[in-house]
Amino acid sequence: MECTCSCGATSFQTLGEPVFRFYCHCTLCQRFYDAPFGDILVYRAEDVVLPPPEAVIFDTYRPPPNVQRGKCATCGQPAVTVFAARFLPRLVTVPRPMFTPDAELPSPEAHGFYDMRISDARDELPKYEGYFRNQIAFLKHLWLARRSSTKPQRETSLDER
Shortest Å distance, C-beta 161 to Zn ion: 26
The least CB distance from residue 56 to Zn ion, in Å, is 9
Rank residues 40 and 48 by Cβ distance to Zn ion and give the closer one. Answer: 40
Least CB distance to Zn ion at residue 155 (A): 31
Q: List alpha helices for the chain, DSSP H.
A: 27-33, 131-147
Alpha-carbon span 61 to 49, nearest angstrom: 23
CB 94 within 8 A of CB 7: no
Site membership for Zn ion, residue 72 (CB under 5 A): yes
Which position among 19, 29, 110, 145 is part of the footprint of Zn ion (CB under 5 A)? 29
- Per CB under 5 A, 75 contacts Zn ion: yes
Determine the interface stretch with Zn ion among 27-35, 55-63, 124-132, 151-159 (rule: CB under 5 A).
27-35
Query: Cβ closer to Zn ion: 14 or 81?
Result: 81
Query: Which residues contact Zn ion by CB under 5 A?
Result: 5, 7, 9-10, 24, 26, 29, 72, 74-75
